[in-house]
Amino acid sequence: MIGRLQCVVLDCPDPKGLARFYRDVLGGEVDRPDPRWSLDDDWATLHLDDGRVLAFQRAAAHRPDPEHPQRSHLDVGVADPARARDEVVALGASVLDAGGPDRGWIVCADPAGHPFCLVRE
């Protein structure tokens, strides 16, 4: 082993706003003091209850690229994908692919345009 994963970082125009979006989706604590990172207007973190960390870095020119829509994405396990879809849309997400009634996932995009899937647990 060479190292350990510290966090997953998403580029976005509004780090604090996107951290709060994912807090409302996944739980956890935004910008918990952590000696690994300095927190400022260009960097925010979300410490999840299981110890994993998502980080959000300001990239003012970040724009979703329709030519390459999914370079990476998050899978979020949910009991009811349709209900979760309505809840994340209310938080500012958009639906990219609603799937069908027999499919176990729905593809959404967070407010900065990053795709994520709501996957039936």
Q: Which fold has domain 8-58?
A: 3.30.720
One digit per residue, pLDDT tens: the chain, 121 residues? 766 878 888 888 899 999 999 999 999 999 999 888 888 899 999 999 999 999 998 987 777 776 766 567 788 989 999 999 999 999 999 999 998 777 888 989 999 888 888 988 8
From CA 31, how far away is CA 39, in angstroms rounded?
7
Domain ranges in the chain are 8-58, 74-120
Identify each DSSP E strand in the chain by its residue range: 8-12, 29-30, 43-47, 53-58, 74-78, 94-97, 105-109, 115-120
Right CATH number for 74-120 from 3.10.180.10, 1.20.1300.10, 3.40.50.720, 3.90.1490.10? Answer: 3.10.180.10
From CA 65, how far away is CA 79, in angstroms rounded?
30
Tokens standing for 6? 């510290």
Residue located via tokens 């966090």? 7
Q: Give Dmax (Cα) for the chain.
A: 45
